[in-house]
Chain A
Amino acid sequence: MSGSSDILSILLEQVDRLLTQHATKEVLAEAEHGTWPATLWNALAEAGLSLAMVPEEQGGSGLPPADAMLLLRRVGYHCTPAPLAETMLAAYLWAKAGGKPSVEPLSLAPTNVEEQIRLLHTAHGASLAGQARRVPWGRDVSKLIVFARDEQNRSYLVCASHPLGEGPFHRNLAFEPRPTISFDGITVAEAEILPAPSICINGVLELGALLRSQQMVGAMERCLDYALTYANERKQFGRPIAKFQAVQHMLAVAAGQYAAATAAADLAAQAVGSQQFGFAVAVAKARVGEAAGVVAEVAHQVHGAMGFTQEHPLHFATRRLWSWRDEFGHEAYWQERIGRIACKTGGANLWPMLVDAQR
């Protein structure tokens, strides 16, 4: 995807530089043991990335969503062990709702289809009820932007600060923290409750799926870079394994999957805020998630035993792919959504619908 401006390409380069410097193998490994990457985070925040999507009048950089999604691909490429994607989106949504964003790390809840957080108005003020499982970086961030509904089923965003109720602590396969957070009995000031903006009137699932799709495209690119380099370096039978046709074809297949995934992710990135977004993001998460499985498999196969070690950094990217494809709805979830739309549309109208969805 080409940047819409020179400023964008400068920004992307800057992000690459920053992450190459700070998201090192050591920092990634320490983060997996629970160490918050403070230096990395401060560098990202100082560069204004946490508020990248927030409009300038509200103190952000006003990066259009489609451009911000390109930035998230770089974040995914570097396997950045911090909630930058979540923060960017949460700050964006909070600002859209009219809230005042801060530069602190943020995350979102709930991230699962089945979960609902209730907003209760009582004589003593407002409070929350409900649990959210697997909240990305739920304990590491200072605040969560929570999607909640009140008794009248109206949608709100609530900015909930720690301390919050703690449930079981899980991590995904990349050892990114995914704790359960309980909101039962958490009281919130009126200023921290805002009507949900139209973009997340039904929750944050779609937007979360958008983030993960972009990050996966980045992580897939990393896998392919590793695999292409390795295939040309590793020699067996007196020649680089890249010269074996079986290896070439595996990588060609992976490149095809990556290209299709990129196209699907572009589709969603460009549809943010439009009528077509629901369909576009379903296509993105379904198609990218499917490609992620293939690319990870091929990357490992090409690396042989070396890729199966902690030593080689491939696993930082592949374990993220295996996690992210299941977060914010796995492929089957989104495929089912698309399938229902297609069947409701009917065979004759499927094509016009597809064309409209891609305008």
Chain B
Amino acid sequence: MRALQFDPVTLPPEAEEMRRRVRAFLAAERTAGRLVAYRGSWSVFDPDFSQRAGAAGFIGLTLPREYGGHGQSSLVRYVVTEEMLAAGAPCGAHWVADRQSAPQILRYGSERAKREILPRICAGRCYFAIGMSEPDSGSDLAAVRTRAVRTRGGWLINGSKIWTSRAHQVHYLIALVRTGEAGEDRHGGLTQFIIDLSRPGVQIRPIRNIAGRHEFNEVFFTDYFVEDDMMVGKEGQGWSMVTSELSFERSGPDRFLSDYHLLVALIDKVGSMPDRRSAIEIGRLVSHLAALRRMSISIAGLVEKGKMPGVEAALVKDVGTTFEREIPEVARRVITTEPSLEEDDVFVKSLAHVVLEAPSFTIRGGTREILRGMIARALGLR
């Protein structure tokens, strides 16, 4: 059972220093009434907040200064993200760009892409979506059919993406498309491009989710022209790049803090003198949370050492999202209520939002079953 390692990591002093800074920033946001108590931090899209966070230096922390970043370690970034999430800061606008698009562009992007895009991401002014899934390519991501063919000075893209969160609100997406033959392992012939959503050839159709919200979309490409230097990485490298991108996408505290606000609301609802059963239920959740936080920090430590902890990230996401899905169930065991989005009570309203969001926790970013398959492979079972 030595397959998966979660070495303990101690956060360095500069990370704790950053914690003081970000807490001061968030305290001011709270005083100004800008934090949303009843919705998950990274599901609230608020460009004004992102710009303030960018100006204060909390976006693009690990990016080099020459591209507008802050040259900090992954552990410093970890601290900023967990503090933002725990405070319920509305991080949704810059979330994807900061978490995965910027690191991808930094590692694999052209000089032009880096110069044009990264400083704006760091300023909290430029947002990204993820263009992986397609109608016939969900868990089986290698089945993507959207195609790019060479043309003079670049490529022409035709096809469509689906479930593209925030495509209607962001500036770019990174699309995984087919540029060649799949080959025997099916992982060949895939390439990633940066798509500017304001250019012609892109059409966005809203898809409403079960809560009636417009958050994800279908995105159609019709002879969309993209220049060579908006390719990320090399032609045919797409698969290994999305694999590494997914370990950023899966490993962070956003995979166990999506509905932390509901735990907070539950504790406040129960009050300082809980009965035994409520104390047990809450204590159990807190014990899970404490363990998850340690695991997630240890992954940040691996990333800092330049490792790609793909399987560890999958495991933390599986355990973390299972925990997230338990919170509403525990909450409704402890407090008798009928959830409603129209309620003013923070607990009841939070519960309503979370119940309607929870099914997505174990689907987005790779389903629970796919993650378990990855873990099983690392255990030597496949």
Decide yes or no: A346 and B268 within 8 Å by CB, A224-B1, A358-B293 being known contacts: yes
Whether, in the assembled complex, A158 has its beta carbon less than 8 Å from a beta carbon of chain B, the answer is no
Residues of A contacting B381 in the complex (Cβ-Cβ under 8 angstroms): 228, 231-232, 242-243, 247-248, 251
- Within A282-330, which residues are at the interface with B (CB < 8 Å)? 282-283, 286-287, 290
- Within B5-23, which residues are at the interface with A (CB < 8 Å)? 6-8, 11, 19
- Within B238-288, which residues are at the interface with A (CB < 8 Å)? 260, 263-268, 270-274, 276, 278-284, 286-288
Whether, in the assembled complex, A354 has its beta carbon less than 8 Å from a beta carbon of chain B, the answer is yes
Closest to A357 in B: B290
Beta-carbon contact of B373 and A358 below 8 Å? no
Decide yes or no: A339 and B373 within 8 Å by CB, A248-B381, A259-B6, A267-B290 being known contacts: no
Give the contacting residue for A339; candidates B6, B11, B274; CB below 8 A: B274
Give the contacting residue for A260; candidates B11, B284, B288; CB below 8 A: B288
Closest to B334 in A: A339
Closest to B87 in A: A351
Beta-carbon contact of A256 and B282 below 8 Å? no
Beta-carbon contact of B294 and A358 below 8 Å? yes
Residues of B contacting A264 in the complex (Cβ-Cβ under 8 angstroms): 287, 290-291, 294
Give the contact-size bracket for chain A.
Answer: 35 or more
Residues of B contacting A286 in the complex (Cβ-Cβ under 8 angstroms): 283-284, 287
Whether, in the assembled complex, B97 has its beta carbon less than 8 Å from a beta carbon of chain A, the answer is no
- Docked complex Cα distance between A351 and B256 (Å): 13
Beta-carbon contact of A340 and B267 below 8 Å? no
Closest to B312 in A: A259
Whether, in the assembled complex, B218 has its beta carbon less than 8 Å from a beta carbon of chain A, the answer is no
| Interface secondary structure of A, over-half rule | helix
Decide yes or no: A347 and B291 within 8 Å by CB, A253-B372, A336-B283 being known contacts: no
Whether, in the assembled complex, B289 has its beta carbon less than 8 Å from a beta carbon of chain A, the answer is yes
Residues of A contacting B319 in the complex (Cβ-Cβ under 8 angstroms): 256-257, 259-260
Decide yes or no: A343 and B282 within 8 Å by CB, A259-B4, A267-B290, A283-B287 being known contacts: yes
- Docked complex Cα distance between A261 and B380 (Å): 21
Give the contacting residue for A255; candidates B83, B290, B315; CB below 8 A: B315
Beta-carbon contact of B287 and A343 below 8 Å? no
- Docked complex Cα distance between A343 and B274 (Å): 7
Residues of A contacting B278 in the complex (Cβ-Cβ under 8 angstroms): 339, 343
Beta-carbon contact of A228 and B379 below 8 Å? yes
Beta-carbon contact of A225 and B1 below 8 Å? yes
Ordered by A's residue number, 17 sampled pairs between the chains whose C-beta atoms are within 8 Å are A221-B1, A232-B380, A253-B318, A260-B292, A264-B290, A267-B290, A282-B283, A287-B288, A290-B284, A335-B283, A336-B280, A338-B279, A338-B284, A342-B282, A343-B272, A347-B265, A347-B268
- A interface with B by C-beta (< 8 Å): 1-2, 221, 224-225, 228, 231-232, 242-243, 245, 247-249, 251-253, 255-264, 266-267, 270, 282-283, 286-287, 290, 331-332, 334-348, 350-351, 354-355, 357-359
- Known interface pairs A2-B8, A263-B295, A336-B280; 5 further A-B residue pairs with C-beta atoms within 8 A, sorted by A's residue number: A228-B380, A253-B318, A331-B284, A335-B284, A343-B279
